[in-house]
Structure 1
Amino acid sequence: MKGFVFHGPGRSAWEDVPDPGIKDPTDAIVRVDAVTICGTDLHILKGDVPEVPSGTVLGHEAVGEIVETGSDVRTVRPGDRVLASCISACGRCRFCKDGAYGQCRGGGGWILGHLIDGTQAEYVRVPHADLSVHPLPGALESQDAVLFADIFPTAYEVGVINGGVRPGDTVVVVGAGPIGLAAILTARLYSPERIIAVDLADSRLEAARRFGADAVVPVRDEPEQLVADLTDGIGADVVIEAVGVPESFEMCTRMVRPGGRVANVGVHGKPATLHLEDLWIKNVTITTGLVDTSSTPTLLRMAASGRVPTSELVTHTFPMDQMEEAYEVFARAADTGALKVVLGEQRHDELAVPAA
């Protein structure tokens, strides 16, 4: 089969790789019908995630069909259409029993496309299948469903829930990429007074407004001053960091009000300064985290009922064998306008595949 293989920083290729097989009785083999590219994949290609070994098939998000299961798998069977979650969960360790699947110590957590071969291939082995794949509602298109493998549960759990968004809050989302847009959509479920989006790119700020941001501001236009003006100088109740660079994190800590919450979602490849000389007196709560995906079944039900709109997030679609071109488009999002890039199945009403 073919897969997209990481060969070290700056080197990757769509090439022949061995077919996956059942290794453990809790495994499932999924034929991949739709897959997407994550910002974390770009971090891996840059060398920001050094524990990913050369030769690894990348990707941790997919929709597909079960083609084989191990002898201990009970909840899915061959022929089932499923979402392969970005997080695998053994279900037995201390953290899994608490629902903290991202911290699994039983061979799970974020392993696909990280510690083992991932989903950007024609087939993928998913360990701990009973808790790591989710049967899909028939009404949900594959290219919509694949967004719930990572970006929606990540934005919701690590951003909105960790940030403690409440009715009447002022929420600032720094970074209007896919995660930031998903944070805007899911923060709206809690009826904040206003949501402010901050980004470098005007195209992403336009998308943020379409997805429900009440105000948008480019970084060049002093977003900290806008937040101060809109909150009578107090600051935001919740600031969600959805970029993963030192400057954006430090900006978030300057925007938050005394007693407010900063929820860091971005994947950081460099150290950021924690200015405790300013923050120690402000009663600020700062959270970090890897998604657990415990919210995935709920989010899938809400998507199937139309409560969480997704279709506008997918801006580009490609066949699987154009993986390298898809990465190029996604990596140049400022030029291409890419939000989410999906490879594989097309939506039923699509007739062509845009190249950029």
Structure 2
Amino acid sequence: MKAVVFDGKSLTLKYDENYPMPVIVDDTDVIVKVEYSGVCGTDLHIIQGEFPALKERPLPLGHEFSGVVHEVGKKSIFKVGQKVVVDPNRPCSLCNFCRNGSYQYCLTGGINSTIGIFRDGGWAQYVKCPQDQVYALPDGITTRQAGLCEPYSCVSHGFDRAAPITIGSKILVVGAGIIGNLWVTTLHLQGHRDVTVSEMNKSRLEIVKGLDTGFRLVAPDVLASEKQLYDVIIDCTGVGKVMEISFKYLNYGGKYVLFGCCPPTHEASVNPYDIYNKEVTVIGVKINPYSFPKAIGLLKSMGDRYLDYDKLGVKTYPLSGYQDLLKDLKAGKISKAIFKIE
């Protein structure tokens, strides 16, 4: 089968037309024929050697994907032809973290066994998945829309971690890549209107403008000059220095949501007195524990109003076009790239 394969030893990608086809091993295995598979900021960190991934053998990356059921084990609850989306993360179900419902902290499961990072992923025509990581799509959600389900599941977890975010709160979203845009759409859907979006890339601000939320759009230097304070700051950049700067814009009693995934080498200097004096809360958000059902609900509520690829700045590519995809992402021409797999 066709796949875009990552070699963790040499940190290289290649397009392979003869990658081995997955086969059913367990009675509850599901083989998904992939239709849409996203490229995440984490994937870019992996390719650059800044984030851990499997090194023992080359494998297709891709932990955000949707498609249809191609083949099932004899005890699977799924049927061939069903539209599905796949949660790439799972618990080990044995450690205290998992048994307490917090598998994002698991030292062997969670992000340490992710499909598309440590197991063959969705940058391929077919993927084998345990059935407990597969979710049937309800009527009204297309596989194209469900290509965004995994990042929305992370946003859903972040929303829960930051809750309550009361209507009328003054909110700052830092970074207008795809994650910033998904937060923008989620906040607007929930009724928030006093939202500012900060982004240095003008083309990305134009993409946010096209979402027609009415949110205020500014460059970072505007924030520095006006010194306005915000009740909630959602950092979607994954850049330590950005946190160091934007943390100063947090209001008394405010919440700083560190959502963008920083490489382990990044650092930020924060004044402990500000944390004490303002009684602020710093909130980390790690992956998407048990939040896929909520994400599917979000997708169903959003529909075409919010999930239009063109308005979100999402562009699709064939697997063979992965080099063009990476160039466009690095140039900031698009907010997100997704493989459309035939």
Matching residue within 254, 257, 275 for 2:248: 254
User: Which ranges in structure 1 are unaligned for 5 or more consecutive residues?
Assistant: 229-234, 347-356
Deviation at 1:227, TM superposition (A): 5.3
Matching residue within 279, 291, 303 for 2:299: 303
1:240 and 1:252 in contact (8 A); partners too: no
Deviation at 1:116, TM superposition (A): 1.3
User: Which ranges in structure 2 are unaligned for 5 or more consecutive residues?
Assistant: none
1:244 and 1:265 in contact (8 A); partners too: yes
Deviation at 1:173, TM superposition (A): 0.6
Matches within 5 A, 1:188-207: 188-207=188-207
TM-score (norm 1): 0.83
Report the aligned-residue RMSD. Answer: 2.5
Matches within 5 A, 1:272-351: 272-275=267-270, 276-292=272-288, 294-306=290-302, 309-311=306-308, 312-333=311-332, 336=333, 338-344=334-340
Report the counterpart of residue 349 of structure 1 in structure 2: none
Matches within 5 A, 1:1-356: 1-8=1-8, 10-15=11-16, 16-53=18-55, 55-74=58-77, 76-89=78-91, 94-96=96-98, 98-104=100-106, 107-109=109-111, 111-127=114-130, 129-130=131-132, 132-148=133-149, 150-158=150-158, 160-164=159-163, 165-211=165-211, 212=213, 214-219=215-220, 221-226=221-226, 228=228, 235-269=229-263, 270-275=265-270, 276-292=272-288, 294-306=290-302, 309-311=306-308, 312-333=311-332, 336=333, 338-344=334-340
How many residue pairs end up in the alignment? Answer: 331
Q: Out of 245-254 and 19-28, give the one that drifted further.
A: 19-28
**SS of equivalent to 2:3:** strand
Change (3 A) 1:142 1:293: farther
Deviation at 1:317, TM superposition (A): 1.9
Deviation at 1:91, TM superposition (A): 6.0
1:22 and 1:69 in contact (8 A); partners too: yes
CA distance in 2, matches of 1:78, 1:42: 33
CA distance in 1, matches of 2:178, 2:70: 30
CA distance in 1, matches of 2:35, 2:258: 32
Deviation at 1:318, TM superposition (A): 2.2
2:154 and 2:291 in contact (8 A); partners too: no
**SS of equivalent to 1:44:** helix
Deviation at 1:280, TM superposition (A): 3.2
CA deviation profile, 1:287-318 (whole Å, cap 9, x unmatched): 11222253332332343344661112253222
Counterpart code for 2:198: V
Deviation at 1:50, TM superposition (A): 3.2
Deviation at 1:273, TM superposition (A): 2.2
Change (3 A) 1:51 1:35: closer
Deviation at 1:108, TM superposition (A): 4.7
2:207 and 2:313 in contact (8 A); partners too: no
Report the counterpart of residue 231 of structure 1 in structure 2: none
CA distance in 2, matches of 1:92, 1:226: 51
Deviation at 1:72, TM superposition (A): 4.7
Higher relative contact order (CA 8 A, sep 6+): 2
Change (3 A) 1:25 1:107: farther
Change (3 A) 1:188 1:93: farther
**SS of equivalent to 1:162:** helix
Identity of aligned residues (%): 27
Change (3 A) 1:187 1:92: farther
Counterpart code for 1:134: Y
Change (3 A) 1:108 1:10: closer
TM-score (norm 2): 0.87
CA distance in 2, matches of 1:210, 1:225: 26
Counterpart code for 1:206: E
CA distance in 2, matches of 1:136, 1:126: 16
